[in-house]
Amino acid sequence: MVCLLVILCLGSCSGEADSFGLEPREIRFEIMDLDKESLVAEAKILAVGSSKEKVLPEERAIVRLALTRGDAAYLETGDVCRGRLSDASGEPFAVDGIWPDDTGLWERLDQANSDLRRDVERRKGSATRAVGALLSEFAVIDQDGDLLQSSFLKGKITLINFFFTRCPNPKMCPTATQRLKVMLEKADEAGVPNLQVLSLSFDPKHDSPGILKDYSHAYKLDENRFRLGTGPSLLMKDLRQQIGIATRKDPKLVIDHTFRIAVIDEHRRIIAEILGPDWSVENTLARIRTLVQEEKK
């Protein structure tokens, strides 16, 4: 396939790109074919963000894109996406930071989170849901680029926490992920067979679905029971406030944050919380089993 390269005309092309909110070096494209082994996709360019660079893919051109391993793992032929050109020097163009860009998906995401948005605005600075309270209906984008709605919680006991893939503190996010993984491995034997995990990202600008997919593979997570979620910054902030996580900027860290894992029952009610990083897998499983048994009485 011959890759078409042209001089980008900012005057004629920026109008369509602006309608999609594309930033410089961003492209919107449809995957026409995908080789998951070579990590190369054949794609039709739908829009190009304005840029001072002289050589970029032309709109409506068919080009070859080099994907990250995480993106190639979940993307499929026919998907419409947007991503950032990390190398536009020649074919195949290296692209990362890929997000699904189907209009219907984002409309469903907004609709699913409307109650959450109103609840956070109404409560203002006191949006944290305490033990015994119900979480608002919500939805996020998971590591497969799909809409994951709060119906995911139905019939399960779910551990919801926040993390980010670039966390440099081994005692925080990496340790929490490892312990949550072990909890799922021991859940059946501990008498909590319907346990699952939802880890939400503090860092949605970096943690796109493909980054989450790579993270899941790196930790060898059971994706049937361990889902990772991301989404627009405002959505993740609303969810963080509901779960009760505080953050602050620290020049030594990417994100400094408090620690809380919310234990959610099958009706979206918070039945327990895990505070601080020093918690035991065995003791937590025993505590959850006791709470579940008491609920059934």
Domain ranges of the chain: 5-102, 111-296
DSSP 189-235: TTT-TTEEEEEEES-TTT--HHHHHHHHHHTT--TTTEEEEE--HHH
**The pLDDT value given to residue 279:** 87
Q: Which of 237, 290, 270, 285 is nearest to 150 (CA)?
A: 270
CATH class given for the domain over 5-102: mainly beta
**The pLDDT value given to residue 7:** 26
The residue with tokens 């790196």 is 218
Q: CA 225 from chain center: how many Å? A: 16
**DSSP conformation class of 86:** E
CB 82 within 8 A of CB 221: no
3-state SS record for 153-179: HCCCEEEEEEECCCCCCCCCHHHHHHH
DSSP 245-297: --EE--TTSS-EE--EEEEE-TTSBEEEEEESS---HHHHHHHHHHHHHHHH-
> Alpha-carbon distance 8 to 168, whole Å?
39
Per-residue pLDDT of the chain (297 residues; tens, 9 = 90+): 333 332 233 333 334 444 457 888 899 999 999 999 999 999 999 999 876 665 678 888 999 999 999 999 999 999 999 999 988 788 899 999 999 998 899 999 999 999 999 999 998 767 788 899 999 999 999 999 999 999 999 999 999 999 999 988 887 889 999 999 999 999 999 999 999 999 999 889 999 999 999 999 999 999 999 999 999 999 999 998 888 876 555 555 555 556 889 999 999 999 999 887 788 999 999 999 998 888 776
One-letter amino acid of 239: L
**The pLDDT value given to residue 55:** 62
Rg (CA), the chain: 21
Query: Which structure tokens are listed for 108?
Result: 């469903």
CB-neighbour burial class of residue 170 (10 A; exposed 0-12, middle 13-18, buried 19+):
exposed
CATH class given for the domain over 111-296: alpha beta
Q: Is 132 helix (H, G, I), strand (E, B) or coil?
A: coil
Global pTM exceeds 0.75: yes
**The pLDDT value given to residue 247:** 54
